[in-house]
Amino acid sequence: MATVADTHDTHHEHGPAKGWLRWVTTTNHKDIGTLYLTFAFVMFIVGGAMALIIRAELFEPGLQFVDPHFFNQMTTLHALIMVFGAVMPAFAGFANWMIPMMIGAPDMALPRLNNWSFWLLPFAAALLVATLFMEGGAAASGWTLYPPLVLQTGDALPFTIFTVHILGMSSILAAINIIVTIFNMRAPGMTMMRMPMFCWTWLVTAFLLILVMPVFAGAVTMLLTDKFFDTSFFNPAGGGDPVLYQHLFWFFGHPEVYIIILPAFGIISAVIPTFSRKKLFGHNSMVYATCVIAFLSFIVWAHHQFTVGMPVPAELYFMYATMLIAVPTGVKVFNWLATMWKGSMTFETPMLNALGFLVLFVLGGFTGIMMSQAPADFQYHDSYFIVAHFHYVLVGGAVFGIFAGLFYWLPKWTGVMYDEKLGKLHFWLSFISMNVLFMPQHFVGLAGMPRRIPDYAVQFTEFNALSSVGAFIFGVTQLLLGYIVWKAIRGEGEKVDGEVWEGAKDHGLEWNLASPPPYHHSFEGIEIKERD
Amino acid sequence: MTIMHNLKRLVFAFLLSLGGEVAWADYQLNLPVGVTETSRTVYGFHMFALWICVAIGVVVFGVMFWSIYHHRKSRNPVPATFHENAKLEFIWTIIPVFILIALAVPATTALIKIEDTSGSDMTIKVTGYQWKWHYEYLDDGIKFFSSLDEKSNRARQLGSGVDPSSIPNYLLEVDNPLVIPTNKKVRFLFTAADVIHAWWVPDFGWKKDAIPGFVTAGWVKVEKPGVYRGQCAELCGRDHGFMPIVVKAVPQKEYDAWVAQWKQQHESASGGMEGKEWTMEQLMARGKEVYNTHCVSCHQADGSGVPGTFPAIAGSEIAKGDIDAHISIVLEGKGAMPGYGQDENISNEDLAAVITYERNAFGNNTGDLVKPDDIADIR
Burial pattern A208-238, b for ≥16 Cβ within 10 A else e, equals bbebbbebbbebbebbbebbeeeeebbbbee
C-alpha distance across the termini of chain B, in Å:
45
Q: Do A60 and B6 touch (CB under 8 A)?
A: yes
Residue B375 pLDDT: 83
Q: Distance between CA B131 and CA B237 in Å, rounded?
A: 8
Put simply, the chain B residues between 215 and 254 with a CB less than 8 A from any chain A CB are: 216-217, 230-242
Which among B114, B200, B239 is the nearest to A375, CB-wise? B114
Indicate if the alpha-carbon torsion angle A430, A432, A435, A436 is positive or negative: negative
Residue A26 has pLDDT above 50, yes or no: yes
Cβ atoms of B186 and B139 within 8 Å: the answer is no
Which residues of chain A lie closer than 8 angstroms to B202, CB-CB?
A: 379, 447-448
Per-residue pLDDT, B21: 42
Give which of A319, A330, A284, A313 is closest to B97, Cα–Cα.
A330
Residues in chain B within 8 Å Cβ distance of A72: 235, 237-238, 240
Specify whether A332 is catalytic: yes
Say whether A63 and B157 touch across the interface (CB within 8 A): yes
Q: Which residues of A touch B205 (CB under 8 A)?
A: 378-379
Is pLDDT at A490 greater than 60 in this prediction? yes
Nearest-angstrom CA–CA distance, A213 and A220? 11
Q: Catalytic annotation on A143?
A: yes
Give contacts of B 271-290 with A, CB under 8 A.
none
Is A227 catalytic? The answer is no
Average of per-residue pLDDT across B176-195: 96
Average pLDDT over residues A4-9: 50
Q: Residues 305 to 344 of B: which have CB under 8 A from any A CB?
A: 306-309, 336
B39 to chain A: closest CA residue: A379
Contacts of B161 (CB under 8 A, 6+ apart): none
Which of the two residues, B282 and B145, has the higher pLDDT score? B145
User: Distance from B89 to chain A by nearest Cα, in Å?
Assistant: 7
Alpha-carbon span B124 to B137, nearest angstrom? 5
Mean pLDDT, residues A321-348 taken together: 95
Residue B77 near chain A (CB below 8 Å): yes
CA distance, residue B178 to nearest chain A CA (Å): 19
Q: What percent of chain A has pLDDT over 90?
A: 93
The pLDDT of residue A353: 98
Contact A320 B7 (CB under 8 A): no
**A329 assigned to active site:** yes
Asked if B320 and B359 touch (Cβ cutoff 8 Å), the reply is yes
Ordered by where they begin, the domains of chain B are 37-114 (1.10.287.90), 122-152+169-265 (2.60.40.420), 280-378 (1.10.760.10)
The better pLDDT of the pair B24, A451 is held by A451
Query: In percent, how much of chain B has pLDDT > 70?
Result: 89
Q: To the nearest 10°, report the CA torsion of B13, B18, B23, B24.
A: 30
A112 is catalytic: no
- How much is the average pLDDT of B287-309? 82
* Lowest-pLDDT range of A58-62, A221-225, A476-480, A524-528: A524-528
Q: Which of A143, A144, A149 to mutate to test the interface with B (most CBs of B within 10 A)?
A: A149
Which residues are paired to B143 by β-bridges? B136
Laid out side by side, the sheet with B178-181 consists of B178-181, B244-250, B226-232, B197-201, B206-210
Nearest Cα residue in chain A from B61 = A359
CA B92 to chain centre: 43
User: Which pLDDT does position B6 carry in this prediction?
Assistant: 58
Q: Which pLDDT band, with edges at 50, 70 and 90, does B1 fall under?
A: very low
Active-site residue A391, yes or no?
no
Which of B27, B50, B237 lies closest to A463 in CB terms? B27
Q: Which residue of A has its CA nearest to B25?
A: A459
- Chain A residues with CB inside 8 Å of B1's CB? 60-62, 458, 461
Q: Residue B22: what pLDDT?
A: 41
Could you write out the three-class secondary structure of chain B? CCHHHHHHHHHHHHHHHHHCCCCCCCCCCCCCCCCCHHHHHHHHHHHHHHHHHHHHHHHHHHHHHHHHHHCECCCCCCCCCCCCCHHHHHHHHHHHHHHHHHHHHHHHHHHHHHCCCCCCCEEEEEEEECCEEEEEECCCCEEEEECECHHHHHHCCCCCCCCHHHCCCCCCCECCCEEEECCCCEEEEEEECCCCEEEEEHHHCEEEEECECCCEEEEECCCCCEEEEEEECCCCCCCHHHCEEEEEEECHHHHHHHHHHHHHHCCCCCCCCCCCCCCHHHHHHHHHHHHHHHCHHHHCCCCCCECCCECCCCCCHHHHCCHHHHHHHHHHCECCECCHHHCCCCCHHHHHHHHHHHHHCCCCCCCCCCCHHHHHHHC
CB A273 within 8 A of CB A279: yes
Tell me how far apart the alpha carbons of residues B229 and B245 are, in angstroms, rounded to a whole number. Answer: 6
Q: Which of A460, A465, A458, A438 is nearest to A449 (CA)?
A: A460
- Supply the pLDDT for residue A527: 86
Phi, psi dihedral angles at B5 (to 5 degrees): -60, -40
pLDDT class for A495, splitting at 50, 70, 90?
very high
Q: Assign 3-class secondary structure to A156-201.
A: HHHHHHHHHHHHHHHHHHHHHHHHHHHHHCCCCCCCHHHCCHHHHH
- Provide the 10 A C-beta neighbour count for residue A123: 12
Inter-chain Cβ pairs, chain A and chain B, closer than 8 A? 336
Kindly report the nearest CA distance between residue B306 and chain A, in angstroms. Answer: 7
A462 neighbourhood in chain B, CB within 8 Å:
9-10, 12-13, 25, 27
- Taking CB atoms within 8 Å and a gap of at least 24, the contacts of A486-492 are A487/A418, A487/A419, A488/A410, A488/A411, A488/A414, A488/A416, A488/A417, A488/A418, A488/A419, A489/A414, A491/A414, A491/A415, A491/A416, A492/A416, A492/A419
Residue B366 has pLDDT above 70, yes or no: yes
CA dihedral A65→A126→A467→B230, nearest 10 degrees, is: 70
For the cut 50, the answer to whether the pLDDT of residue A90 exceeds it is yes
Q: Is there a catalytic annotation at residue A381?
A: no
Q: How far is A230 from chain B (nearest CA, A)?
A: 15
- What are the φ and ψ backbone dihedral angles of A254, each rounded to 5 degrees? -70, -50
ipTM metric: 0.91
Q: Is A274 in the active site?
A: no
CA distance A137 to A128: 11
Which of chain B's residues have a Cβ under 8 Å away from the Cβ of A57?
none
pLDDT of residue A13: 56
Which tens digit of pLDDT belongs to each residue from A290-325? 999 999 999 999 999 999 999 999 999 999 999 999
CA distance B128 to B135: 9
Q: What is the enclosing helix (H) or strand (E) of A226? A: helix A197-228
| A154, A342, A462 ranked by CB distance to B27: nearest | A462
Q: Reply yes or no: is the peptide bond before residue A97 cis, omega within 30 of 0.
A: no
Please answer yes or no on whether A345 and B207 come within 8 Å at the CB atom.
no
Domains and CATH numbers, chain A: 28-512 (1.20.210.10)
The per-residue pLDDT for B2 is 53
Dump pLDDT digits (tens) for A166-180: 999 999 999 999 999
pLDDT in tens, A272-293: 999 999 999 999 999 999 999 9
* Cβ(A360)–Cβ(A366) below 8 Å: no
Q: Can you tell me the distance from the alpha carbon of B225 to that of B39, in angstroms, rounded to the nearest whole number?
A: 15
- What confidence tens digit (pLDDT) does each residue in B109-142 have? 999 999 999 999 999 999 999 999 999 999 988 9
Q: What are phi and psi of B55, to 5 degrees?
A: -65, -45
Give B29's contacts in chain A (Cβ within 8 Å): 443, 446-447
Q: Catalytic residue at A304?
A: yes
Q: Phi first, then psi: what are they for A382, rounded to 5°?
A: 55, 25
Which of A165, A194, A279, A451 is an active site residue? A451
Average per-residue pLDDT in chain B? 87
Question: Could you tell me if A528 and A104 are in contact, meaning their C-beta atoms sit under 8 angstroms apart?
Answer: yes
The pLDDT score that the predictor gives to residue A63 is: 93
pLDDT over 80 (residue B313): yes
d(CA B119, CA B134): 24
User: Residue A148: which of B9, B96, B212 has the nearest Cβ?
Assistant: B212
Mean pLDDT, residues B148-166 = 90
Considering only the beta carbons, identify the residue of B111, B160, B170 that sits closest to A458. Answer: B170
pLDDT of A484 higher than 90 = yes
Which pLDDT belongs to residue B361? 86
Q: Are strands B226-232 and B197-201 parallel, antiparallel or unpaired?
A: antiparallel
Q: From B76, which residue of chain A is nearest by alpha-carbon distance?
A: A344
- If residue A379 lies in a helix (H) or strand (E), which one and from where to where? helix A374-380
Of residues A153, A294, B354, the one with CA closest to residue B343: B354
- Tell me which DSSP letter residue A346 carries: -
Taking only the tens place, the pLDDT of each residue in B237-296 is 999 999 999 999 999 999 999 999 988 887 655 455 556 778 888 888 888 888 888 888
Q: What is the pLDDT of residues A392-448, one digit of tens each?
A: 999 999 999 999 999 999 999 999 999 999 999 999 999 999 999 999 999 999 999
Q: Quote the minimal CA–CA distance from B277 to chain A in Å.
A: 41
**Cα nearest neighbour of A347 on chain B:** B72
Please tell me which residue in A26, A76, A163, A170 is annotated as part of the active site. A170
CA-nearest of A484, A474, A482, A450 to A379 is: A450
Residue A373 to residue A78: CA distance in whole angstroms: 28
Name which of A62, A148, A358 is nearest B164 (Cβ-Cβ): A62
Determine phi and psi for A383, rounding to 5 degrees.
-105, 175
B4-49: per-residue pLDDT in tens? 565 566 665 555 555 444 444 456 889 999 999 999 999 999 999 9
- Selecting from A60, A68, A447 the residue whose C-beta is nearest the C-beta of B241 gives A68
The yes-or-no answer on residue A171 being catalytic is yes
Of B31, B68, B100, the CB nearest to A379: B31
A170 classed as catalytic: yes
Evaluate whether A38 touches A92 at the Cβ level (below 8 Å): no
> Regarding predicted confidence, which is higher, B159 or A50?
A50
Q: Could B155 and A337 be called an inter-chain contact, meaning their C-beta atoms sit closer than 8 Å? A: no
- Closest Cβ opposite residue B49 in set A285, A312, A376: A376
Nearest to B354 by CA among B325, B330, B377, B320: B330
User: CA distances (Å), B60 to each of A315, A337, A352, A439, B39, in order?
Assistant: 30, 8, 17, 19, 31
Which residues does chain B have within 8 Å of residue A339's beta carbon, measured at their own beta carbons?
83
Output the CA–CA distances (angstroms, integers) from residue B326 to B240, B292, B332, in the order listed: 28, 18, 10
CB of B37 less than 8 A from some CB of A = no
Question: Is A307 a known active-site residue?
Answer: no
Measured in angstroms, the CA of A234 and the nearest CA of chain B are apart by 10
- By the 10 Å C-beta count (0-12 exposed, 13-18 middle, 19+ buried), B21 is classed as exposed
DSSP A22-79: HHHH---HHHHHHHHHHHHHHHHHHHHHHHHHHHHHTTSSS--SS-HHHHHHHHHHHH
Q: Which residue of B234, B247, B298, B334 is the best one to mutate when testing the A interface, meaning the one whose CB has the most A CBs within 10 A?
A: B234
